[in-house]
């Protein structure tokens, strides 16, 4: 996790791969259970919440990470927390050359099943369309 995050935030492309026998828990390890929330996390997970600062590490670094989240969501939360902290440090800094770091994040997630690749980030209506 930390090495992958470090690479991604320094301009290196990063990939995460789970490989193994069918039914061995790859999807659960990668995604986990995103519906499970601790009572204090319900507000932080709300899309209309004013708890964005808390959710992204301003007060409680793990506030928005569901307790049973898998590796991929945890890395994404850490990545965006790092970006927000970096932006906050850049905007509050009065020294240096004044240049801001620009971050571009793109993500793809595929599941290969029965020799077909399924786009795990496709809208729910498009899910299940395999590519050969």
**Binding site per annotation, positions for ATP:** 20-27
DSSP letters, the chain, are -HHHHHHHHTT---------STTSSHHHHHHB-SS---GGGHHHH-TT-S-HHHHTTSS-TTTTS-TTB-HHHHHHHHHHHHHHHHHHHHHH--SS--PPPP-------EEEETTEEEETTS-TTTTT-EE-
| Annotated binding-site members | 20-27
């Amino acid at each position: 996790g930390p090495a992958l995050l470090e690479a991604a935030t320094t301009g290196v492309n990063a990939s995460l791969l789970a490989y193994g026998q069918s039914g061995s828990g790859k999807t659960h390890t990668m995604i986990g259970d995103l519906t499970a929330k601790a009572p204090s996390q319900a507000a932080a997970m709300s899309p209309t919440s004013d708890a964005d600062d808390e959710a992204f590490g301003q007060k409680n670094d793990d506030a928005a990470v569901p307790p049973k989240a898998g590796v991929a969501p945890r890395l994404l939360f850490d990545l965006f927390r790092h970006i927000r902290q970096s932006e906050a440090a850049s905007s509050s800094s009065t020294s240096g050359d004044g240049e801001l770091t620009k971050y571009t994040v793109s993500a793809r997630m595929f599941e290969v099943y029965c020799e077909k690749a399924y786009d795990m980030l496709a809208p729910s209506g498009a899910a299940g369309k395999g590519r050969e």
